[in-house]
Chains A and B, each alone.
Chain A
Amino acid sequence: GAVVSQHPSWVICKSGTSVKIECRSLDFQATTMFWYRQFPKQSLMLMATSNEGSKATYEQGVEKDKFLINHASLTLSTLTVTSAHPEDSSFYICSASKRELGGNEQFFGPGTRLTVL
C-alpha cells in the first residue's frame, strides 16, 4: 500500500498566528505532493503542486506568500499558513503521487481541520 500521514489532524489558532501542517509519505517516495483546501460541501480545490527540491507551483488566486510550501525531501512536504485569519478556516488535505506507467494515482492524507478564531 501507500500511506500518507498528515499532522496535526486538527488545529485551533488565534487570528494572526502561523500554522504549519506536515504531509508525509510513509512507505514510498512521492514524485509530487499536492495541497488542497476544501470548504464545507464543496469539492477539493487545488492550492499548489510541490516537487521535491523545487519551488511549488501555485494555482491562480492562491497567495504564495501566505501559504508557504516547503518540499524538503521525497517524503515530506509542509504547508505553513501565515498570519491566519478566520476565512482561512478550512479542511486542508495533502496527497502524494508516484509516477506509474500510464498515469499517476494520488494517495491522500487524512486531512487537517484548521479553525482560526
Chain B
Amino acid sequence: GQNIDQPTEMTATEGAIVQINCTYQTSGFNGLFWYQQHAGEAPTFLSYNVLDGLEEKGRFSSFLSRSKGYSYLLLKELQMKDSASYLCAVSPDDYIPTFGRGTSLIVHP
C-alpha cells in the first residue's frame, strides 16, 4: 500500500518562514507534488519534484530526498493569504497518485 504522512496543522506568523514536511512509503516513485487548497476550492498546483534537491519558485520551494522518502515545502515571507491546506501527493509506479491528509496552515498577524 501507499502511505503519506504530513502534520495535521501548523501555525506561523505573517512574514515568517514555515517548513511543511512530508514522508512517504510507496510502491515505486514517479514524482512528488505539492498542492495548495483553500477552503471550498479545488487544489492548485505548487510544485513537482522527481529528482533529489531543491526546486525554488518565488516564495515557495520544495525539496526532495528519494533515499529518505522525504520532502518539504518551504514558504517564505508568509502572507495571510497563504493560510490554506497544503497537500503532499506521490505518483507511484502505476501513476495513480496518493494524497496525504493535508497540512492546515494558519498564518496570523
Give A contacts to B, CB under 8 Å: 32, 34, 41-44, 46, 49, 91, 93, 97, 99, 102-111, 113
Contact = CB atoms under 8 A, between A and B. Distances in A.
Given A43-B100, A44-B99, A105 B48 contact: yes
B100 A102 contact: no
A4 B50 CA distance: 24
Interface in B68-109: 87, 89, 91, 95-102, 104
Given A43-B100, A43-B102, A106 B42 contact: no
Contact of A32 (B33, B41, B95, B98): B95
Nearest to B44: A108
Contacts, number: 56
A102 B42 contact: no
B40 interface: yes
Given A43-B102, A97-B95, A109 B48 contact: no
A106 B97 contact: yes
Main SS of the interface on chain B? Answer: loop
Interface of B: 30-31, 33, 35, 40-45, 48, 50, 87, 89, 91, 95-102, 104
A34 B98 CA distance: 11
Nearest to B91: A103
The 4 closest A-B pairs by CB, nearest first: A103-B31, A43-B101, A103-B30, A108-B42
A13 to B, nearest CB: 19
Given A91-B40, A102-B31, A103-B50, 15 more contacts: A32-B95, A34-B97, A43-B100, A43-B101, A46-B97, A46-B98, A49-B96, A97-B95, A102-B50, A103-B30, A103-B48, A104-B30, A104-B95, A106-B45, A106-B97
